[in-house]
Amino acid sequence: MTFLPCPWPSAIGVWGRRPASRRGMVMAKWLGPPLVTVEDAMLRSVRAQRSEPSLGLMIDEIGVYFDASKPSAIENLLNSDREFDPEVIDRAACGIAFLRENGLSKYNSVPPHSGDLPPDQFVLVIDQVKGDAAVRYGGASERDFQHMLDAAISENPGKKILVRRHPKQPESGYFAGMKETSQVQFLAADTNVWDILGAASAVYCVTSQLGFEAILAGHVPQVFGKPFYAGWGLTADRQTLERRQRKISAQQLFAAAMIILPVWYDPVVQCRTSFENACIALLARAKHAWQPKQKCVVLGASRWKRKFLRRYLDVVCFEKSTQRALNTALANGIPLAVWASKEPANLAGQAADLAVEILRMEDGFLRSKGLGAELHAPASLVFDKQGIHFNPDQSSDLESLISQSNSLDAAELLRAKNLRKKIVELGISKYNAVYRPMPELPELKRKILVPGQVEGDASVLFGSTSIRTNAALLEQVRRDNRDAFIVYKVHPDVAAGLRKGALPVALQGLADLIVQDVPAAVCIAAVDEVWTMTSQMGFEGLLHGKKVVTFGTPFYTGWGLTTDRGTLCYRRRARPSLDGLVHAALIGYPRYIDPDSGFAATPEQIVRKLSGEPARRTSGLVIVVWVLKLLRKFGFSVR
């Protein structure tokens, strides 16, 4: 019999060693089930705010890593005779390098190389929040902080001593009331941890996580408490830790603390993830926070787009009038942002006359679970300062990135390769709604996919000169391939009744099969070649390793990766690899923000998210889409 209002617990969980946790500890001792302690992992978030969810947790069934009075999971792991797998050690070495190179720590509100450090060498003394559990359970007290500062001064005569406050509560530290002297001063708050550690000649700490990061930076920190990283031969310990007998490497310590024991969580995809994916996700969120939103005037954006545009831009105002938009941009000395496919014909000339910068916006190449024309918010946008990717008449930021992609290092190319493989494996395209399976195709015939496009779309108008209609494209493909099995795929916006581009009935017989609700990735996987004007499905065909023939000049042509039947772009002389093209188009060019959580994201996260359940619009937007379809059905032009 139980008097609890729930089944008998198999375990009782508590958060750290805060006062409220004592009740759970008493219950565990009284009722008998094991106690499980949960704490933030050592990479948490961008800012030290509760509103930002933690990327990782330490879930410990033995103790808690900062409590030196008892064993913990990390202590037992490092004390055991277990030999770490060489692959894990390699991952640890790469992880250490990644954190150092990108300036990532537990909290990440300060970008690397942004703060001022003294030109001369200095000794770093690390303060902590008074009364913090890591101090109390780490065998230390206020007296140890004073001993630490005294030791730093006496052991480093003539050197400057810089005291680093805790970023979460800088005025609540043990040295908060201390007055600065010519030798002992407080460090500026806007300095990245790794910049500090790289410039310091010595590090003094009590139990702070910075002592752990000091080890990773190559220091042997002077430690005045009993943190989890002390006692393993990597620190100069001012207290003894009898239980810790082994001598380990920094890579072993890192592997235990960051790879083996933590549980990492992806708040965008909402599932567990790896340490490496957590690092990439945190870096994306940090970079988004480090780079202030571009302040601008937005011209001609539909009302439904304004909400998600504010996540990317600091919008001063939305304007419908070109002249008012230009005047406001000029008066404020800021760019004018415009949806590239809706850019007024005379805007570039007017902006040039006034010396107003134009920022052209468009959807990224990994967009959503539904159509933009059906008002599904995009997961990525591009912001191009030179031109726009679908207009070959002028250079674009994407074109520059592709031209420079041969300078990418091995890690960047590997990331692009893995992303490409994941896209193919999961069958991801630009739009990713739920569709029907592909009909069975003949095995012995050469199979060609012809993707239909929206006629009048900006990518066709700018990027294709000789062939500009789906009918003309299909006729040309049939003339050149009399014996091939041709699959024509209707563009999803056309199939939904939202855009023009329907194939005339008289010409539908030129295709052996017309598909409408089959996913783009499934169509590409089923054929041998993709023939197109400027469709993104040509780019996706390259990702799948298919031969791609183009009659226009989309962004992916002219680089030696496609068979080009359209106008060649004289600027495209580089010969990038496929992974170089992928890195430029999917990693370097777009910016990703999860439409649901609002978090800055990575293309890897968005790919995984797009493979999940279809997105849902609010009921209001569903009604709007229905009305738009009805108006177009009766011949009204609705933008």
Task: Please give the Cα distance from 363 to 344 (Å, whole number).
Answer: 18
Tell me what pLDDT residue 279 has: 95
Phi, psi of 513 (to 5 degrees): -150, 130
Tell me what pLDDT residue 245 has: 85
Single pTM value for the model: 0.86
Confidence of residue 221 (pLDDT cuts 50, 70, 90): very high
For 228-237, b/e burial (b = at least 16 CB within 10 A) is bbbbbebbeb
424 burial class (0-12, 13-18, 19+ CB within 10 angstroms)? middle
Tell me what pLDDT residue 374 has: 66
Confidence of residue 619 (pLDDT cuts 50, 70, 90): very low
Per the model's pLDDT, the better-predicted residue between 526 and 376 turns out to be 526
Here the tokens at position 264 are 């990492």
- The CB density around residue 155, as the number of other CB atoms within 10 Å, is 12
What's the average model confidence in pLDDT over 587-611?
94
pLDDT digits (tens, 9 = 90+) for 201-217: 999 999 999 999 999 99
Task: Please give the Cα distance from 514 to 523 (Å, whole number).
Answer: 11
User: Which residues touch 366 (CB under 8 Å, ≥6 apart)?
Assistant: 379, 380, 423, 428, 430, 586, 590, 592, 603, 606, 607, 610
Per residue, what are the HEC states of 135-180?
HHCCCCCHHHHHHHHHHHHHCCCCCEEEEECCCCCHHHECCCCCCC
Q: Is the pLDDT of residue 534 over 60?
A: yes
pLDDT digits (tens, 9 = 90+) for 171-180: 888 998 899 9
Tell me what pLDDT residue 53 has: 85
What's the average model confidence in pLDDT over 263-275?
93
Tell me what pLDDT residue 5 has: 61
Confidence of residue 626 (pLDDT cuts 50, 70, 90): very low
User: 182 near 161, Cβ under 8 Å?
Assistant: no
Q: Report the share of the chain in percent with pLDDT over 70.
A: 93
The mean of the pLDDT values for the chain is 90
For 31-83, where are the E strands, in sequence order? 35-40, 56-60
pLDDT digits (tens, 9 = 90+) for 275-321: 999 999 999 999 999 998 999 999 999 888 999 999 999 999 999 99
Q: 195-209, 253-267, 603-617: lowest mean pLDDT where?
A: 603-617
Kind plus residue range of the DSSP H or E element containing 26: helix 21-31
Kind plus residue range of the DSSP H or E element containing 487: strand 485-489
Tell me what pLDDT residue 24 has: 84
Tell me what pLDDT residue 400 has: 98
> Furthest-apart CA pair in the chain: how many Å?
93
Report angle CA 527, 372, 493 to the nearest 5 degrees: 50
Task: Please give the Cα distance from 183 to 160 (Å, whole number).
Answer: 5
DSSP state of 614: P
What's the average model confidence in pLDDT over 508-520?
91
Here the tokens at position 108 are 């990440």
Question: DSSP for 209-256?
Answer: HHHHHHHHTT---EESS--TTSSSSSSEESS--TT------HHHHHII
User: 427 near 399, Cβ under 8 Å?
Assistant: no
Tell me what pLDDT residue 48 has: 80
Q: Is the pLDDT of residue 51 over 90?
A: no
What's the average model confidence in pLDDT over 29-36?
85
Tell me what pLDDT residue 31 has: 81
| Radius of gyration for the chain, computed over Cα atoms and rounded to the nearest angstrom | 29
Q: Considering only CA atoms, which of 485, 518, 520, 490 is closest in space to residue 504? A: 490
Here the tokens at position 511 are 């295709």
Q: 275-279, 368-372, 451-455, 571-575: lowest mean pLDDT where?
A: 368-372
pLDDT digits (tens, 9 = 90+) for 473-490: 999 999 999 999 999 999
DSSP state of 202: E
User: Which residues touch 18 (CB under 8 Å, ≥6 apart)?
Assistant: 133
Q: Considering only CA atoms, which of 361, 367, 363 is closest in space to residue 335? A: 361
Here the tokens at position 1 are 């019999």
pLDDT digits (tens, 9 = 90+) for 425-468: 999 988 776 677 899 999 889 999 999 999 888 899 999 988 99
Tell me what pLDDT residue 635 has: 52
What's the average model confidence in pLDDT over 236-240?
95
Residue 348's alpha-carbon distances to 82, 332, 358, in angstroms, are 66, 18, 8
User: 272 near 266, Cβ under 8 Å?
Assistant: yes
Tell me what pLDDT residue 378 has: 92
Tell me what pLDDT residue 498 has: 66
For 44-132, where are the E strands, in sequence order? 56-60, 122-126
What's the average model confidence in pLDDT over 179-183?
91
